[in-house]
Amino acid sequence: MSARAGHILAGAGALAVLATLPLWGGTPYGLELGITAATFTVLSTGLNLVYGYTGLLSFAQVAFFGIGGYTSALLSHDAGWPVFAGALVGGVLALLLGLVIGYTSLRLSRHAFAIVSLSFALLCLIISRDWVSLTRGPMGVPGLIAPTLQLPGLGRIGFDRPAVFYWLMLSYAVLVVAATHRLVRSRIGRAFIAIKLNQPLAESQGIDPLRHRLLAIGVSALTSGIAGGFYVFHLTIVDPSIFDFYYTETMLIMVIVGGPGSFWGVVVASLAFTAIPDMLRFSHDLRMVLYGAILIGAMLAFPRGVGGWAAQRRLVRLRRPILA
Amino acid sequence: MRVGLSPVFAATVCALMFSATARAEDPIQIGASLPLTGTAAFFGQHSRWGAELAVAEANAAGGVLGRQIALDPQDNRCNPTEAVKSVSQMLSDKKDVAILDGLCSSAILAMMPLVERAEVPLVVANGTATAIVDKSGAGGNKWVFKVNPSDGSLADALVGYLVEHEKDKAAKIAVLGEDTDFGRGGAQALDAALGKFGMKLASSDFYQQGTPDFTAVFTKLRSEKPSMIAVYAVGADVQNIARQYVSFGVGIPFTGRLLTDLVPPEIMASGALDGSVVAQAYAPEVDTPANHAFVDAFTKKFGKPPNLLSREGYEAACVVIDAIKRAGQADPAAIRDALEKTDLTSILGAQIKFDDHHLAHDYAVILTVKGGKVVIAALNKT
Amino acid sequence: MDFATLLQLLINGLVLGVIYALIAIGLALIFGVIEIVNFAHGELYMLGAVAAYFLTMNLGIGFWASIALVTIGAFGVGIVLYELLLAPLAGQGFERSILLTLGLSMVLQNGAMFLLTSTPRLETTPYSYRFLVLGDARVPLLRLFALILALVAFGAVYVTLHHTRTGKAMRGVAQNRAAALMVGIDPRAAARLAVAIGVGLSGLAGAALAPVYSVHPVMGFAFVFKAFAVIIIGGLGNILGAAISAVSLGIVESIAGGFLPPAFVDAIAFIAMILILLLRPQGLFGRGVRV
């Protein structure tokens, strides 16, 4: 059996386990963890695309998520739009705003992008609280009604049932992971890595760093925005705490430990870091102390995360016969 | 697949063993979803202490239905996402026969559909948003009960008192509130209450929770000279507001829901806040035997005097424990039915009965500051 | 708006701006010399305030002595921080340094929350509630002290950068690292001093403000994000630019706060930063350590 077939089999097996979660772990809490894990997989895969592949540290991921959430909540609640259309518009709005902050700050430097993305997230928080006539302010928009689908042959499917919503979020996460995987393994993905590793060299090969970086930011904003657009209908409420800096910290931990630029490492870390701390019932304070310590340790010892470390080990093994 | 399933199999076996060994002597468990970390942790902690005191008292008196009671507090960071997670965990364990508080309105609103689906009662102790009451009882959700008065009833009680005693002071009230549902909701309710007497708020300023500097807004208010400043603030912000208020000699009496017990004692004693009139759902100074007993027991157990939140946590836990007793069984549905027939005397001396929207009507405490001391001016039915 | 109110707003703004500057200058200095944006700066300020609180309220040490002790202690913390965490990272990339200092800030903030709980504390000194009257305006004594201490600190930083060997080395490293190496400057000594001064300033700010603002684990949050905006507006790594931007921001916020709701005031720094990036991306005063 070739390695590739093995990977496909392992992937299919993992997918089968995840898809049948409602059958073997279908408690409300099991499903809740599943929904959170699927959502964070989308978010951290997006962050990995931007940070791991093009080398831009972004704090704006949570802002895209929140923008998507607010847009779809308001379109559905105030204008009576269907949820799926609202989520799509939310994603597109996040994409456009992502391009704006990316374009303005990248003209200066990568450094400016990091700080501008942070300020953008804080600005979104302020707007969600204080543009009361639009966002309802800190009271949020409660009473969001999850969509129902009328499918021929299957009858009505209500997404207010956690199991059904889990399947929706899981399918979306699988779609995003697959699409992102295709992107990073394509010619464009190789250009991303080239820009990250050596920008002047990449430019001399005719790769435009700005356009590629904007593409990465745009894709991650779109996928995160749509995720937010769905997710708030599971919570049934959207309020400014959707922009909590704590989510940014959690996403960063997933990407750093999984290994920036290591595609499957980050996906696995997203699942692990949603489930493990919750199951161990860590207090949040201690959890965040531990996350901080992990970040410090990773930066000093494993800057490329577990995934990067594994890849390094593989390279060493591959090189051994030549060196010997 | 083998790797994926074996932990599941192990977990199932464990779960089966646990349920097999569950005996009648196991404690009856009550969940509590509260902010125990993050910026609202101080309040979650107080609500938790209040509930813990109620549980400890019930256990010392021999427990309920011959069993001890255990509290299962879980963190929600005052955030709907975490609230949903914590409550799902309680509902999955199927041990909690009722759930307490939530504390923050947005967290409670997100928890409500979950308890309705799982058919476990939720007794709200601290959230104030009117949307909670609108959706409860006759509003559709039969599983949610609210012990504390809502923003609207407190504001009505406050304005009623002002109009009766110091009408000129109600004419030009400016709001200084935190930019949360507590601040904004309080201001809205105050404006509506004033509207019933043909008045309205002079101005509203909302600041981000955790803002250290209030000098600009105080300078502005000092020049606009409102008749009173209605404060809706909690935690560190109260200390910053009180100290900067004195440092800059603002000299305009406070109203609204200023938490007088968080004001540094030397400021209170200096008389700088004299003339202030605030409405609260509770004040430790209220002179009833039940309240004295509560304040003493709380201070003895936790080394700190109780505040508004500890008392609401206590009261809500008492309501649940009483309902379990009357239900005669530790079953969520039976407890819910018992909750509807609640008839208890609160530590302020009011009758706690839930109306058709499952809202209890405890007293609103009107506090005034005179000669550097907090004085109970009135207990108004809400 | 009458003159007295405007004067009061101006004075408040000046004090607030100098407080911002105390925090922003340290950030700008550290960025200028080792290209690290210190995300833990707000937590170091918080630690300074917490230390000053316990020194005065629990050990009975006086206000001025507590400031001296905390500043010296923070200077030492800066050296340890550099040697343990930042030096191994030298030249390893901007993003890694952000993530490392973000990790440090998570440890410090949540550790403080765990050990001290979120209970707010208020340091009381003999100067609390005393103030100076200037016409119709008031200046609380403790704010005046913070202003004076900050000006003394700026003077000391100026002297260090211009009249000491290591200080000149710091400017050299900031302007051109390769050239500085070639003429025999030890970049490590310069970097160590830069971090020590930066952390020392945030400790000073914490100790001086502990009796002005309520002391609690998340108190650093409100200032540090504004300080990031300030160092972008002033030109990344430009110390004088950071100081001028900080003081201007304080004054603008204060005056605007006299007319606008407080929530809009909080957005001023971020909006100004985004406008600066659009119109003059190198910052108002350009890049480089200039004092």
Is the residue at B360 inside a domain?
no
Q: Region A38-61: what's the mean pLDDT?
A: 93
- Asked if residue B365 lies in contact with residue B379, where contact means CB atoms within 8 angstroms, the answer is yes
Is residue B357 situated within a structural domain?
no
Q: Which residues of C touch A108 (CB under 8 A)?
A: 277, 281-282
Residues B37 and B142 in one domain: yes
pLDDT number for residue B14: 39
Q: Which residues share a beta bridge with B205?
A: B176
Q: What pLDDT was estimated at residue B18?
A: 40
What confidence score (pLDDT) does residue C288 get?
47
Instruction: Decide the pairing of beta strands B228-232 and B96-101.
Output: unpaired
- Among B107-121, C61-75, C106-120, C167-181, the range scoring the smallest mean pLDDT is C167-181
Cβ–Cβ gap B212/C213 under 8 Å? yes
- Provide the number of CB pairs (under 8 Å) joining chain A to chain C: 117
Condensed to tens digits (0 to 9), the pLDDT of residues B295-341 reads 999 999 998 889 889 999 999 999 999 999 999 988 999 999 999 99
Contact B136, B111 (CB under 8 A): no
What is the Cα–Cα distance from A42 to A48, expressed in whole angstroms?
A: 10
Provide, as residue numbers in chain A, all residues whose Cβ is less than 8 Å from the Cβ of C271: 123
Residue B9 has pLDDT above 80, yes or no: no
**B129-138 pLDDT tens trace:** 888 888 898 9
Q: Is A197 on the interface with C (CB under 8 A)?
A: no
Shared domain check, B190 and B89: no
3-state secondary structure chain C: CCHHHHHHHHHHHHHHHHHHHHHHHHHHHHHHHHCCCCCCHHHHHHHHHHHHHHHHHCCCCCHHHHHHHHHHHHHHHHHHHHHHHHHHHCCCCHHHHHHHHHHHHHHHHHHHHHHHCCCCECCCCCCCCCEEEECCEEEEHHHHHHHHHHHHHHHHHHHHHHHCHHHHHHHHHHHCHHHHHHCCCCHHHHHHHHHHHHHHHHHHHHHHHCCCCCECCCHHHHHHHHHHHHHHHCCCCCHHHHHHHHHHHHHHHHHHHCCCCHHHHHHHHHHHHHHHHHHCCCCCCCCCCCC
Q: Given a cut of 70, is residue A324 above it in pLDDT?
A: no
Bridge partners of A80?
Answer: none
CATH number for the domain that contains residue B198: 3.40.50.2300
Rounded Cα distance, C213 and C181, in Å: 43
Report whether A116 contacts A104 (CB < 8 A).
Answer: yes
Nearest to A111 by CA among A56, A193, A53: A56
Quickly state the pLDDT bin for B16 (edges 50, 70, 90): very low
pLDDT of res. B142: 93
User: Where is average pLDDT lowest: A34-48, A49-63, A180-194?
Assistant: A180-194
Question: Model confidence over B56-98: pLDDT tens digits?
Answer: 999 999 989 989 999 989 888 888 888 988 898 888 877 889 9
Of B211, B220, B222, the CB nearest to C222: B211
Same domain? B127 vs B233:
no
What is the distance between the terminal CA atoms of chain A, rounded to a whole angstrom? 28
Q: Is A286 on the interface with C (CB under 8 A)?
A: yes
The reply to whether B193 and B179 lie within a common domain is yes
Q: Which of B307, B294, B342 is nearest to B44 (CA)?
A: B307
Is the same domain home to B234 and B128?
A: no
The pLDDT of residue C19 is above 80:
yes
B1, part of any domain: no
Q: What DSSP state is assigned to residue A139?
A: G
- Are B215 and B235 in the same domain? yes
Same domain, B15 and B83: yes
Q: Which of B62-76, B217-231, C99-113, C258-272 has the lowest mean pLDDT?
A: C258-272
What local confidence, expressed as pLDDT, does residue B98 receive?
93
Instruction: Answer yes or no: is pLDDT of C127 > 50.
Output: yes
A139 contacts B184? CB cut-off 8 A: yes
Rounded to whole angstroms, the Cα distance separating A208 from C114 reads: 48
CA distance C159 to C164: 7
In terms of pLDDT, which residue wins out, B319 or A258?
B319
**How far is Cα A116 from Cα B93, in angstroms, rounded to an integer?**
44
Nearest residue of chain B to residue A32 (CA atoms): B85
| Residues from chain C contacting residue A285 (CB–CB below 8 Å) | 110-111, 113-114
Cα–Cα distances (Å) from B231 to A246, B183, B186, B217, C74, in that order, read: 28, 8, 9, 12, 37
How many angstroms separate the CA atoms of A121 and A224, rounded? 14
Q: Check CB contact under 8 Å for C107 and A293.
A: yes
Lowest-confidence segment of B28-37, B78-87, C131-140 by average pLDDT: C131-140
| C278 neighbourhood in chain A, CB within 8 Å | 104
CB contacts of A140 in chain B (<8 Å) are 80, 106, 109, 181
Distance CA A46, CA B352 (A): 52
**Rounded Cα–Cα distance for residues A118 and C99 (Å):** 13
**Residue B6's pLDDT band (boundaries 50, 70, 90)?**
very low
* Residue of chain C nearest B246, judged by CA positions: C129
pLDDT at residue A160 is higher than 80: no
Residue B321 CA neighbour count, 13 Å, CB half: 26
CB atoms within 10 A of CB B19: 9
The model's confidence at residue C170, banded by pLDDT at 50, 70 and 90, is confident
In a domain, B15, yes or no: yes
Find chain A residues with C-beta within 8 A of B181's C-beta. Answer: 138-140, 239
pLDDT at B20: 39
> B30 and B73, same structural domain?
yes
Task: Return the pLDDT at A60.
Answer: 94
For residue C50, which of C196, C218, C225 has the smallest C-alpha distance? C218
Among A32-41, B223-232, C3-12, the range scoring the smallest mean pLDDT is C3-12
- What pLDDT, on the 0 to 100 scale, is given for residue A280? 66
Cβ burial of A258 (10 Å; 0-12, 13-18, 19+) is buried
Tell me what pLDDT residue A236 has: 84
Q: Is residue B359 part of a domain?
A: no
Chain C within 8 Å of B213 (Cβ-Cβ)?
Answer: yes
Lookup: tokens for A41: 């997989």
Query: Which chain C residue shows the shortest CA-CA distance from B236?
Result: C120
Range of the domain at B308: 7-148+286-349
Partner-chain contact B38 A235, CB within 8 Å: no
Q: Are residues B254 and B375 in the same domain?
A: yes
B135 and B257 co-located in one domain: no
Number of domains in chain B: 2
Residue of A nearest to C232 (CA): A112
Q: Please answer whether residues A260 and A304 qualify as being in contact, where contact means their C-beta atoms are separated by less than 8 angstroms.
A: yes
What integer pLDDT is reported at residue A64 of this predicted model? 97
Span A197-219, mean pLDDT?
87
ipTM: 0.86
Q: Which chains touch C (3 or more CB pairs under 8 A)?
A: A, B
DSSP lists the bridge partners of residue B375 as: B368
Query: What pLDDT sits at residue B7?
Result: 44
Give me the phi and psi of B122, to 5 degrees please: -120, 125
pLDDT tens for A87-114 read 999 999 999 999 999 998 888 788 888 8
CB distance C95–A55 less than 8 Å? yes
Inter-chain CB proximity A138 and B179 less than 8 Å: yes
Burial of B68 (0-12, 13-18, 19+ CB in 10 A): middle
Task: Please state, in angstroms and rounded to a whole number, the distance separating the CA atoms of residues B13 and A23.
Answer: 16
The more confident residue out of C251 and A321 is C251
What is the model's pLDDT at position B144? 95
Strands of the sheet containing B363-370, edge to edge, are B277-280, B363-370, B373-381
| Nearest residue of chain A to residue C31 (CA atoms) | A111
Do B140 and B162 reside in the same domain of the chain? no
Give the pLDDT score at B296.
Answer: 95
Identify all chain B residues contacting A142, using CB atoms and an 8 Å cutoff: 106, 109-110, 131
User: Which chains contact B through at least 3 pairs of Cβ atoms less than 8 Å apart?
Assistant: A, C
In angstroms, rounded to a whole number, what is the distance separating the alpha carbons of residues C66 and C289? Answer: 31
DSSP-derived secondary structure letter, B95: -
Asked if the structure places residue B358 within a domain, the reply is: no
Q: Find, in chain B, the residue whose alpha carbon is nearest to that of A10.
A: B1
Hey, is the C-beta of A288 within 8 angstroms of any chain C C-beta? yes
Contact C219 B207 (CB under 8 A): no
Cα–Cα distance between C199 and B349 in angstroms, integer? 55
Hey, are the CB atoms on C258 and B216 less than 8 Å from each other? yes
**B212 to chain C nearest CA, in Å?**
6
Residue B191, in any domain of the structure: yes
> What whole-number distance in Å separates Cα of residue C217 and Cα of residue C114?
9
**CB contact (8 A) between residue B81 and residue A17:** no
Q: What tens digit of pLDDT does each residue of C202-212 get? A: 999 999 999 99
Which residues of chain B lie closer than 8 angstroms to C212, CB-CB? 243
From A134's Cα to the closest Cα of chain C, the distance in A is 16
Q: Which residue of A has its CA nearest to C95?
A: A57
Residue of B nearest to A245 (CA): B38
Mean pLDDT of B265-284: 89
Rounded to the nearest 5 percent, the helix, strand and coil shares of chain A are 80, 5, 15
- Whether B2 is in a domain gets the answer no
Q: Which of C213, C251, C264 to mutate to test the interface with B (most CBs of B within 10 A)?
A: C213
Token pair in block for residue A42: 């989308």
Chain B contact residues (CB < 8 Å to A): 1, 4-5, 8, 36-38, 75, 77-81, 84-85, 88-89, 91-93, 105-106, 109-110, 113-114, 118, 129, 131, 135, 179-181, 183-185, 206, 208
Query: Are A36 and B85 a contacting pair at CB < 8 A?
Result: yes
Q: Which residue among B219, B222, B264 places its CB closest to the CB of C122?
A: B264
Chain C residue whose CA is closest to A54: C95
A1-5, A169-173, C132-136, C184-188: lowest mean pLDDT where? Answer: A1-5
* Cβ-based contacts of B270 with chain C (< 8 Å): 129
Angle at B369 between CA B363 and CA B372, to 5 degrees: 140
| B-C contacts (CB, under 8 Å) | 115
d(CA B271, CA B372): 4
Mutation for testing the C interface, residue in A48, A103, A255, A285 having most C CBs under 10 Å: A285
Query: Could you say which residues from 264 to 283 on chain C have a Cβ atom under 8 Å away from some Cβ of chain A?
Result: 264, 266-267, 270-271, 273-274, 277-278, 281-282
Max mean pLDDT range (A28-32, A211-215, C124-128): A211-215
Residue B220 in contact with partner chain C when CB distance is under 8 A = yes
CB contact under 8 A, B247 and C129: yes
Strand, coil or helix: what is A102? helix
- In whole angstroms, give the CA distance from residue B313 to residue B282: 12
pLDDT of residue C124: 86
Residues B138 and B174 in one domain: no
Beta-carbon contacts of B180 under 8 Å, excluding residues fewer than 6 positions away, are: A138, B209
pLDDT surpassing 70 at residue C18: yes
SS3 A152: coil
Contacts of B38 in chain C (CB under 8 A): 118
CA atoms of B20 and A279, how far apart (whole Å) = 22
Could C263 and A283 be called an inter-chain contact, meaning their C-beta atoms sit closer than 8 Å? no
Identify which of C11, C10, C33 has the alpha carbon closest to the alpha carbon of residue C199. Answer: C33
Per-residue pLDDT at A283: 67
| pLDDT of the residue at C258 | 85
What percent of chain A has a predicted confidence (pLDDT) above 70?
94
